[in-house]
Copies of this chain bind each other. A is one copy, B any other.
Amino acid sequence: MHGRVAAPTRMSAEARGTPAGDSAARPAFSEPRTCDADPAVLEPCESCHARCHSVCAGLSVEEINRLALLTQPATIGAGQTFISEGESAVHLINLNSGCVKIFKLLPDGRRQITGFLFQGDFLGIPFNEAYVYSAEAVTDVQVCRFPRRAFNALMEEIPGLEKRLLTRASNELAQAQEQMLLLGRKTAREKIASFLLGLSERARRLGLPDDPVDLPMGRADIADYLGLTTETVSRTLTQLKRDQLIRMEGTAHVRLLDRAELIAISDGE
């Protein structure tokens, strides 16, 4: 059966994706990108690169500082599973840099990755006592952990926070429905085209280059995200290459040669 997870692999930070010292012609992921350098904001938030993309955005300085007092910053190594489905949800987590995959497992090991998260994304459901998915770092990641109960209490006092979470949840829900359409009704070719365009779009929204699309995750992860096997992912990429729609630059970067045609494919013509 397809989609079974292999034994947990432990890979170094540089093993996959965008290594820290790889930036030849474009800004590296880890380049500081502070959106507004307000000196009144406490560390660690003051220098946070992800602030303008996080739930924290739009909060007043005073509100950010109250959040900052709850924050437990941490670094998680690539390959680490730091949330397990079913486990008691002690923390809510905000992702500041790097890439995380969230997924669900079947008892026999089949895996469905339900999302790849990037800087500014939020993990955990405030009102749920247990996590409903597992999460593993794809690259090294930096996170802010918030004790869930304290965060919930703070939400009572900062109405903007609840509103931002609702907006975020709504967007995630819309994206989940898009993904259901993909999983249930698209062909392998359409899935891969959608995936590449989605990553490109995502990078653009984060202010990162959107053309050589960065694939920090391996083929197995792509397969488990799209409901395919690694072999089919490989073959389909090769096919798109043959059709002059993409060009691989190494295994982790894809140049989109004909975006219009890729969009047509991803929409099912």
Using a CB–CB cutoff of 8 Å, the interface residues on chain A facing chain B are 2-3, 104, 106-108, 110-112, 114, 125-128, 132-133, 159, 162-163, 165-167, 169-170, 172-174, 176-181, 183-186, 224, 226-227, 267-269
Quick one: which of B114, B165, B166, B174 contacts A177, CB cutoff 8 A? B114
CB distance from A200 to the nearest CB of B (A): 20
Given A125-B170, A132-B174: A180 and B111 within 8 A (CB)? no
- Contact present for B170 and A107 (CB under 8 Å): no
**Chain B residue contacts of A3, Cβ below 8 A:** 184-185
Q: Are A112 and B173 in contact (CB under 8 A)?
A: no
- If A114-B177, A169-B173 touch, does A183 touch B227 (CB 8 Å cutoff)? yes
Report 24 cross-chain contacts, Cβ distance below 8 Å, ordered by A residue: A3-B184, A104-B177, A106-B186, A106-B268, A107-B269, A110-B186, A110-B268, A112-B181, A112-B185, A114-B177, A127-B170, A128-B170, A128-B174, A132-B174, A162-B162, A165-B166, A166-B166, A176-B177, A180-B180, A183-B183, A183-B184, A184-B224, A184-B226, A185-B227
Complex Cα spacing A114 to B112, Å: 17
Taking CB atoms, residues of chain B closer than 8 Å to A268 are 106-108, 110
Distance of A174 from chain B, by nearest CB (Å): 4
Please give, as numbers and ranges, the residues of chain B lying within 8 Å of A110 by CB-CB distance: 185-186, 268
Query: Shortest beta-carbon distance, A223 to chain B, in Å?
Result: 10
Residues of chain B lying within 8 A (CB to CB) of residue A104: 177-178, 180-181
For A177, the closest partner residue in chain B by CB is B114
B267 & A107 in contact (Cβ 8 Å cutoff): yes
In the complex, are the beta carbons of B127 and A166 less than 8 A apart?
A: yes
B177 lies within 8 A of A127 (CB): no
CB distance from A195 to the nearest CB of B (A): 13
Most buried by B among A114, A128, A224: A114
Q: Report whether A111 and B169 are in contact in the complex, using a CB–CB cutoff of 8 Å.
A: no
A167 to B152, CA, bound (A): 12
With both beta carbons as reference points, the residue of chain B lying nearest to A104 in the complex is identified as: B181
